[in-house]
Each structure stands twice: as C-alpha cells, then as structure tokens.
C-alpha cells in the first residue's frame, strides 16, 4: 500500500455533531428494541430489524465521517458514492426496521403515551375535510414524495448549487440534510414504515413507484458520463489524485450514478415483486380446496351406515 492510499484511508472527519447524533439515534433505537423485545417475547422486535437499522446507521457514518467524506471534496466519483449511500442505501435500511414504534418504546411511559396521543390527533386532523388538512396530506403523498425526491436529486447536482455546497460547509450540510430527508420520505412509501397517514399502496404500485426513479437517475448519469466539458469546475482547482483527470473522474462519477444507482431501484423492485408473488401464492393455498387423501374412499356399507374403507 503506497503512502497516499494509507494516508487517505486513515483520514476520518469525525465531526462531533454528526457523531453524537448517530450515536444517540443508535442508542435510543437499541434501548427501545430491547424493551419491546422483553414485552413481546421477541415477536415485535426481530433481530433482522435491529440489523437493518444498525446497518443504516453504519452506512450514514461511512458516508459522512469516513474517508469517503474526506475524498468527496477531491474526487467527483467518490462524491457520487457518498450521494448513493445517503439516498439509496441508508434510508431504506433504516425504514425497513420500522423504527418509529421502537423509538416510542425507548421513551418513559408518560412521554411515550403523550407522543402516541399527539400522532393520533394528527392522523385525525389529516383526515378532516378541510383545505389545510387535504393540502398537508397531499404534500406527503407518494406522488409528492417522488416529485420532491427527483427535484432534490437534480437541484443539488446543478453546477452552481454543487460548487456552492463544496465551497461552504453550511451549504454542504444543508445538501446532505435534504438528501436524507427527501430520501426518507420517498422510501417511507416503499417500505410502509409507521406512522402511516395514507392507505398503504398496493404492492404493484410500489413496484412502479420505485422503477419510475430509474429514468431520472439514468438521465443524470448519462449526462455526466457523456459531457464533453467539466460540469463542476471546482474539481479543476483541487490537486488531482492518482493521475485521474477531471474528465475521467466525471465519467466515473456518471457511471456510478448511472449503473449502481439504477441497480438500487431494480433490487428494491425485485424484492417487492418477490413479496407480491409470495403473498399471491399464500392466498392461493388458502383458497385452494384440499385434495382427497390417496387410497381412501367412501364406500356405502349395505345394511349399515356409510363406512370409510380402503379403495
């Protein structure tokens, strides 16, 4: 391993505000998971949910604190890896754990009851027939979540906005906040995590919802890969690592967004399709009449009641 690679791999940006936030979120979830597991004898606190949530926290830490975060200001391709982790990997892992009920169980009893009551009142208000409640419900509906996700995705990859984020840490922090927030809203409708304020979309609609993100993602990836000039001049002003030119770096970044990025949505769609097929198979088994037992037939017994005899 050469000295440059060794130095880069040892460069961690351990920002206290992010480290503390992730630690608190992880500790609260684990505390709630343990309490819920004891109360339900393990029925509502599966180990795979804990693993999924922990994986999401680890992915966020890698994206925001590891050498990936450090190198994102030097290499555009690494920055695209960071965006992929923040929008397409960490959010679904966190939401698959259905963390909201688990967080509630981490709270003291009175506070948990107060928070649950607040969300019940919010759900009642959202279902009222008023302009404000209807507008709020539409603002977080699947179509709105999809549109917001695409808007955030394209807006921050605009050349001016992207360069601004790299030059000012506060803007960069806002970029990451909107990435994670928009992605959580998008994947919330895919995973069906609590709390739910809408009717849960049918499984095939969720498949279409996820697949509909592939064209915008591919569009950006193709545009980056086939651009004839640097789209982000910022990278021309920083030292080039490993002899990778600005244009080659941009091509690699576009390919990362194009192929692995699109594959994340394909994988999600395949998982949803698999669950749809399993559900359909289970329903068909329930409705399917049971076949007669081989070798046993009903044969009338003359002079007596019907007897069960071997055929």
Please determine, for residue 303, whether its predicted confidence score (pLDDT) is greater than 80.
no
What confidence score (pLDDT) does residue 42 get? 73
CA 70/CA 166 separation, integer angstroms: 11
Q: Report pLDDT digits (tens) over 22-33.
A: 999 999 999 999
What confidence score (pLDDT) does residue 288 get? 62
Q: What is the DSSP letter of 308?
A: E
Q: Report pLDDT digits (tens) over 57-111.
A: 999 999 999 999 999 989 999 999 999 999 999 999 999 999 999 999 999 999 9
Span 206-233, mean pLDDT? 96
Please determine, for residue 190, whether its predicted confidence score (pLDDT) is greater than 80.
yes
Judged by DSSP in three states, 157 sits in: coil
Q: How confident is the model at residue 311 (pLDDT cuts 50, 70, 90)?
A: very low
Q: Comparing 279 with 139, which gets the higher pLDDT?
A: 139
Give the rounded percent of residues in the chain with a pLDDT score beyond 70. Answer: 90
CA 298/CA 311 separation, integer angstroms: 8
What confidence score (pLDDT) does residue 39 get? 87
Tell me the pairing of strands 296-299 and 307-310: antiparallel
**Nearest of 144, 133, 131 to residue 188 by alpha carbon:** 144
What confidence score (pLDDT) does residue 294 get? 46
pTM score: 0.88
Span 167-182, mean pLDDT? 95
Averaged confidence pLDDT in the chain = 89
């Amino acid at each position: 391993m050469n000295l440059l690679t060794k130095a880069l791999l040892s460069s961690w940006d351990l920002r206290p505000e992010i480290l503390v936030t992730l630690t608190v979120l992880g500790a609260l979830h684990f505390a709630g998971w343990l309490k819920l597991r004891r109360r339900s004898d393990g029925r509502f606190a599966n180990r795979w949910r804990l693993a999924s949530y922990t994986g999401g926290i680890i992915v966020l830490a890698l994206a925001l604190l590891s050498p990936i975060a450090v190198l994102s200001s030097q290499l555009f391709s690494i920055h695209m890896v960071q965006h992929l982790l923040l929008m397409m990997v960490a959010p679904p892992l966190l939401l698959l754990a259905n963390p909201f009920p688990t967080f509630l169980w981490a709270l003291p009893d009175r506070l948990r009851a107060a928070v649950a009551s607040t969300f019940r009142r919010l759900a009642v208000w959202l279902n009222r027939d008023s302009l404000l409640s209807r507008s709020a419900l539409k603002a977080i509906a699947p179509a709105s979540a999809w549109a917001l996700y695409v808007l955030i995705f394209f807006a921050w990859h605009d050349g001016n906005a992207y360069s601004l984020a790299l030059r000012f840490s506060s803007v960069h922090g806002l970029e990451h906040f909107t990435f994670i927030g928009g992605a959580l809203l998008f994947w919330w409708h895919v995973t069906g995590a609590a709390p739910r304020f809408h009717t849960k979309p049918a499984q095939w609609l969720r498949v279409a919802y996820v697949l509909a993100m592939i064209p915008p993602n591919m569009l950006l990836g193709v545009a980056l890969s086939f651009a004839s000039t640097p789209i982000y001049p910022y990278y021309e002003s920083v030292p080039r690592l490993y002899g990778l030119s600005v244009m080659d770096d941009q091509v690699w970044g576009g390919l990362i967004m194009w192929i692995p990025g699109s594959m994340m949505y394909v994988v999600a769609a395949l998982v949803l399709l698999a669950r749809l097929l399993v559900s359909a198979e289970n329903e068909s088994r329930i409705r399917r009449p049971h076949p007669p037992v081989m070798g046993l037939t009903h044969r009338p017994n003359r002079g007596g009641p019907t007897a069960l005899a071997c055929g």
